[in-house]
Amino acid sequence: MRSSNRKAVLHLLKLGYDEIWLKPHTRRHDLIYTTGEWYRAIDLWNLFDGVCFDSDGNLILLQIKTNAWASKKRVEEFLSDKKNLIILIINVKYGKSWTVNIREYKT
């Protein structure tokens, strides 16, 4: 996972994204406060591995997967009541060589 995360970060830097922050996975979970039921999460909102900024200064939510795509349904459900967000789903594959593929979702 660390090597695929590094490949994803280097690819994003080449594309002009900056100040990339990936949340470390630890035993301690973050507490997410909501108007409904509070919950604990390892990832940001139990979905994202980190954040960065694009060249226009927009905040980008990142999800990085190795050899698979993240669930489109979960991303679309998350975005359903949000505004002005950009999400990059990054698929890092290793076969004969490393490849980094990106899907973008916007609200």
* Distance, CA of 99 to chain centre: 17
Positive or negative, the Cα torsion across 99, 13, 20, 17?
negative
Q: What is the mean pLDDT of the chain?
A: 92
What's the N-to-C CA distance of the chain in angstroms?
A: 29
For residue 61, is pLDDT > 80? yes
3-state secondary structure 50-105: EEEECCCCCEEEEEEEECCCCCHHHHHHHHCCCCCCEEEEEEEEECCCEEEEEEEE
pLDDT on residue 3:
84
Strands 50-53 and 18-22: antiparallel
> Residue 28 burial (CB < 10 Å; 0-12/13-18/19+)?
exposed
Beta bridge partners of 51: 21, 61
* Distance, CA of 90 to chain centre: 7
Q: Can you give the pTM of this predicted structure?
A: 0.86
Q: What is the pLDDT of residues 36-52, one digit of tens each?
A: 999 888 889 889 999 99
Fold of 2-106: Trna Endonuclease; Chain: A, domain 1 (3.40.1350)
Structure-token match 């594309």, residue found: 15
